[in-house]
């Protein structure tokens, strides 16, 4: 089994991959958010662009995304909460933490994202939090951030480079 990067514990082929390959559509903001994370983790940048509705979309391109995210290892996604807009069923929000490694250091991005449904498809609209990347300082003997209950040095440390 090829575990899905999004942390669902499902096989990639029956979780985010059919969405990234456009064989299926996300039914909820959370599904879209998870599939976008998995697309980052597997470097499917076209999907990132195709599921984005932000105002600076016309300036974005696949090559620039690939360059921006070069050298980042996506390590773990935790979805903290997801809500629908009570007044508008075409709006929803997902709050998540995404752990990543960059130049051998560990970071976590915490964000609340807004999503919008247009013509039956969900899109990422914007970061509606003041999201920030926080450096996580773990020593090698600390318990790993990923939830495995193993020591960092025996778990995810080798995934950083």
Q: Which positions touch Zn ion (CB under 5 A)?
A: 4, 6, 8, 15-16, 34, 144, 146, 148, 155-156
Provide the terminal-to-terminal Cα distance of the chain, rounded to the nearest Å.
25
Nearest to Zn ion of 8, 73 (CB atom): 8
What's the min distance (Å) between Cβ of 7 and Zn ion? Answer: 7
Nearest to Zn ion of 15, 114 (CB atom): 15
Residues in Cβ contact with 133 at an 8 Å cutoff, skipping those fewer than 6 apart: 107, 108, 109
Angstrom distance (rounded) from CA 151 to CA 141: 5
What's the min distance (Å) between Cβ of 94 and Zn ion? Answer: 13
Q: What does the DSSP 8-state code read for residue 156?
A: G
Q: Which residues are paired to 123 by β-bridges?
A: 116
Angstrom distance (rounded) from CA 28 to CA 9: 18
What's the min distance (Å) between Cβ of 66 and Zn ion? Answer: 21
What's the min distance (Å) between Cβ of 88 and Zn ion? Answer: 26
Nearest to Zn ion of 60, 138 (CB atom): 138
Nearest to Zn ion of 4, 33 (CB atom): 4
Token pair listed for 138 = 């773990």
């Amino acid at each position: 089994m090829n575990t899905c990067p999004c942390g669902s514990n499902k096989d990639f082929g029956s979780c985010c991959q059919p969405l990234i390959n456009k064989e299926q559509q996300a039914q909820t903001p959370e599904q879209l958010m998870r599939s976008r994370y998995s697309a980052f983790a597997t470097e499917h940048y076209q999907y990132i662009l195709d599921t984005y509705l932000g105002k600076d979309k016309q300036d974005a391109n696949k090559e620039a995304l690939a360059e921006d995210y070069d050298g980042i290892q996506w390590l773990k996604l935790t979805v903290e909460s997801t809500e629908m807009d009570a007044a508008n069923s075409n709006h929803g929000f997902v709050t998540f933490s995404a752990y990543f490694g960059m130049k051998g250091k560990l970071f976590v991005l915490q964000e609340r994202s807004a999503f919008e449904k247009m013509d039956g498809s969900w899109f990422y609209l914007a970061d509606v939090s003041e999201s920030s990347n926080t450096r996580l300082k773990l020593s090698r003997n600390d318990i790993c951030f990923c939830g495995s209950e193993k020591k960092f040095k025996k778990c995810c440390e080798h995934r950083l480079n």
